[in-house]
Amino acid sequence: MNAAEVVDVMTRIFERPVEVTLNALAMLEAGGLEIVPVDASVGLHAGELHAHLYHRESSPLSMADCVALAVAAAFDEPLMTSDPPLAAAARSEGVVVMPLADSHGQRPSP
């Protein structure tokens, strides 16, 4: 998930003030989280991934999912997610997945 998506989801879905989310992101950065800009090559790779991997029913990936996957691939870092379709897509692209528990405590299959 990228910073823009975090702000969007926390504000729109969880109705948290933008300032609260930005402060939380700042604390995560202070703890070592690296927020990287999406450059043209990552953006193009994300578009290619979406065109190649998206399927409405079997692989419902958002463009933000594909940006996260493209960033993980570009930096050769694991992708942390609780989303089973994103985890499956990452594995199909050779990206290591660190499964996170969703709100029900379920993790994507290893």
Domain parsing of the chain, residue ranges: 1-35, 37-104
State the average pLDDT for the chain.
Answer: 92
Q: What share of the chain is helix, strand, coil (3-state, %, to 5)?
A: 55, 5, 40
Per-residue pLDDT reduced to its tens digit, 42-93? 999 999 999 999 999 999 999 989 999 999 999 999 999 999 999 999 999 9
Residue 1 has pLDDT above 70, yes or no: no
| 23: confidence class by pLDDT, cuts 50, 70, 90 | very high
CATH of 37-104, one of 2.40.30.10, 3.40.190.10, 3.40.50.1010, 3.20.20.70: 3.40.50.1010
